[in-house]
Amino acid sequence: MCGISGYVGNGNAPEILFDMLKKLEYRGYDSAGIAYITGDGTIHLPKDKGKVDEVRRKLRPERLKSTIGVGHTRWATHGAPSQVNAHPHADCSGEIVVAHNGIIENYVDLKSELSELGHKFKSETDTEVIAHLVEHYMASEKSVLSALEKTLERLKGSFAITVITSREPDKIFIARNESPMLVGLGVGENFIASDAPAFLSKTKKALILEDMDYGFVSKKTVVIKNLSTRKEVKKKVHKITWGASEAEKEGFQHFMLKEIHEEPNAARNALSAEKELEEIAGKLAKKTRICFVACGTAYHAGLVGKYILENYGIPAEAFVASEFRYSTVETMDDKTGVVSITQSGETADTIAAIKGAKKKDAYIASIVNVVGSSVTRISDDVAYIRAGPEIAVASTKAYIGQVLSCTLLSLLVARAKGRISAHEFEHLKSELKNIPRKIKEAVENRRINEIAEENASTKKFFFIGRNINYPTALEGALKLKEISYVHAEGYPAGELKHGPIAILDQDTTVLAITAEGKLRDKMHSNIQEAKARGAKVITVGFECDLDVPKTDPLLSPILNIVPLHMLAYYISVLKGLDPDKPRNLAKSVTVE
């Protein structure tokens, strides 16, 4: 996601802030900006779309003089990459400036409340409401810190926030909830960053903020409180022993592992797109045909959507874009709704498929991660999954966002068509809210590591599942072959006996994905068939070998995939491979 930098001391803040942003480039971004206060108390706010070096070149920070400021690299979530949407953002007076990493889920309500009070907004971002909220509370509060406290009470969502203001020009105010934030402790100077590499060349001593911590940092003082008690918290000073590249991964060995640990947050963020999905669902419900179109992992998420719609008696299809674009596209018309799913928004086959469908007057809705990408410009409507930048080639947290969005979208279509009872809809929606916590539990299951060790040298893998977990089988197999280079096939469990069972033997491991519900017993019979041929069977699901928490069977694909992501990761590492950069693969496939 976005990167945050902050500096207060005796050095030249603009230069230091850009140096720090450079070290955070790996996090992915589309815009960069800084805000700094000069001796006369004025806040300067240069920012633009583009690379840190480009923005820096235009500004020549070595000429600017200031000892306090904040910086930001933006990875767009609300509003396309542009100068006006780049951070930091100011209030109406220009005296309060905020940089933010995360998502303010209730920003629409806050924006309309503040607009009614006369606040003027310049950008499309969720962040700008924070600057105006602080401005609003500063009118009645005695200090910036108490205005910040009031502001934090109003925010829902994830945030790491830095605030500077000409009212207290020697302090950087900070707050964190669910987005990372560290304070680097120097001598006569202090640093703030989303990640330690930003200040490792200056200091290795750091405070790590916890959820709902807030406070301020000046040249010689750091005060941290927690919103639960409003009392000062004594923070432990951490000595950072990692090198810069480990620190980029926040201590994880690989980006893929870090991104798997971000899956709970990815699920939470995808749920925040309910309004966009509801609008799309209303339009899809009026169509006679609904087609999910995507490539690779994203296609598997579309398949889950198809199964959910069918569960409610709504006809639906899912297509691989490279096939769709040359045949099915000819059958498109204005009664068809196409849902494209893509992390990058730049996949050539997906773009060609939706362009073709659009020419035939189909309605195009897209579920996308990268804001402002090509697919978002072609589509009639877009829902963002807001998973943050995915750096590892193998898609993990974006798949969680995609499968959750396809699930919620399909439930909303079923509701718009009157195919699901209000009671069932509410039950599933409230269970969806528990999913982030349950993903976290699944990620923390230590047994996965052992199972990976026992199977690291296996040559043949089968992943089998039925109905809504058939896509989970496909996705589990894809992940394993992508990063471990072993043969893995995903199969509908009922198809085993129509051919593939011939190659099962004692050198084969079968991953059997189970779920409660009408097909549970049938799945058990398939497991017996595999065991009878000598294959080793590992069950995946609630109370299984690769265990996940219990959930509604319709939501089980979101949990069942988590241990399979981990398994693929561990097997790759045990084989001595680099899971982040598998051979022959590119993160976005922009050619046919």
Interatomic CA distance for residues 407 and 271, integer angstroms? 10
Among 66, 336, 342, 366, binds ligand M6R (CB under 6 A): 342
Contact between 589 and ligand M6R per CB under 6 A: yes
Distances (CA, A) of 276 to 88, 383, 438: 26, 5, 25
* Region binding ligand M6R by CB under 6 A among candidate stretches 48-56, 70-78, 116-124, 392-400: 392-400
Q: What angle do CA 142, 147, 153 make, to 5 degrees?
A: 140
Whether 103 contacts 157, CB under 8 Å: yes
Helix (H) or strand (E) holding 451: helix 447-455
Q: Which residues contact 128 (CB under 8 A, 6 or more apart)?
A: 89, 98, 111, 121, 122
Interatomic CA distance for residues 235 and 245, integer angstroms? 25
Q: Which amino acid is at 87?
A: H
By CB under 6 A, what part of segment 292-321 binds ligand M6R?
A: 295-298
Contact between 588 and ligand M6R per CB under 6 A: yes
Contact between 366 and ligand M6R per CB under 6 A: no
Whether 135 contacts 91, CB under 8 Å: yes
Contact between 564 and ligand M6R per CB under 6 A: no
Distances (CA, A) of 280 to 124, 329, 381, 554: 20, 21, 7, 21
Residue 69: closest CA among 14, 134, 135, 10: 14
Nearer of residues 502 and 585 to ligand M6R, judged by Cβ: 585
Contact between 77 and ligand M6R per CB under 6 A: no
Name the token pair of 472. Answer: 């989970």
Q: How far is the CB of 390 from ligand M6R (least distance, A)?
A: 9
Contact between 393 and ligand M6R per CB under 6 A: yes
Q: How far is the CB of 343 from ligand M6R (least distance, A)?
A: 3
Contact between 343 and ligand M6R per CB under 6 A: yes
Contact between 9 and ligand M6R per CB under 6 A: no
Per-residue contact string for residues 469-488; x = within reach of ligand M6R by CB under 6 A: -------------x------
Classify residue 178 by its DSSP letter: B
Nearer of residues 274 and 580 to ligand M6R, judged by Cβ: 580
* Region binding ligand M6R by CB under 6 A among candidate stretches 41-49, 172-180, 291-299, 421-429: 291-299
Nearer of residues 75 and 107 to ligand M6R, judged by Cβ: 75
Interatomic CA distance for residues 449 and 50, integer angstroms? 41
Q: How far is the CB of 249 from ligand M6R (least distance, A)?
A: 18
* Region binding ligand M6R by CB under 6 A among candidate stretches 10-18, 171-179, 269-277, 290-298: 290-298
Contact between 395 and ligand M6R per CB under 6 A: yes
Contact between 344 and ligand M6R per CB under 6 A: yes
3 state DSSP class of 394: coil
Interatomic CA distance for residues 129 and 473, integer angstroms? 43
Q: How far is the CB of 298 from ligand M6R (least distance, A)?
A: 4
From the CB of residue 207, how many other CB atoms can be counted at a distance below 10 Å? 22
Cross-strand partners of 102: 159
Residues recognised as catalytic: 2, 587
Contact between 347 and ligand M6R per CB under 6 A: yes
Interface with ligand M6R by CB under 6 A: which residues? 295-298, 342-344, 347, 350, 393-395, 482, 585, 588-589
